[in-house]
Amino acid sequence: MKNIRITKEFTFETGHALYGYDGKCRNVHGHSYQLAVTIIGTPIETPGEVKLGMVMDFGDLKEIVKEEIVDPFDHATIFNKNTPHVALANTLAAEGHKVILADYQPTSENMVLDFASKIKTRLPDNIRLHSLKLRETGTAFAEWYASDNPE
């Protein structure tokens, strides 16, 4: 078998606040996130196939990640739905701002877990999500690997 990994990178701007945190990140602030999505599969070998030699068309992967992650999160503010910031979130939403109330504390670690579950459900059966790397700043990132998360 000839498994190959391919990676597509994405950027988006998202604000958040960490409820209960003991540092500056308890305040509403934002990041220019960079997300690297790596999938693994066997290149198509069927003669005459328009995507011959591809594990997956980068455009198809882009469409999935754009619909599941980039479009919803770009220029949104994400809050833990159990935070006292819910009043602020509701005010922002009522004024037309993009707000996400998540079931988790919006750390890079939890966001990358959320992203992995969303992307995995959209991949074709012959393609597996290999890893995600979510860069929050130039020096800080969270990574998710399928090998660390057996199902």
Among candidate residues 25, 31, 109, 143, the one labeled active-site is: 25
Enumerate residues 6+ apart whose C-beta is below 8 A from 60: none
- 109 counts as catalytic: no
The sign one gets for the Cα dihedral 27, 144, 103, 74 is positive
Residue with tokens 């790397």: 133
Please calculate the CA angle 52-54-55 and round it to the nearest 5 degrees.
Answer: 135
Among candidate residues 97, 136, 143, 151, the one labeled active-site is: 136
- 95 counts as catalytic: no
Among candidate residues 31, 75, 109, 130, the one labeled active-site is: 75
- 136 counts as catalytic: yes
Please, are residues 41 and 20 in contact by the beta-carbon 8 Å criterion? Answer: no
3-state secondary structure of 102: strand
Active site residues: 25, 75, 136
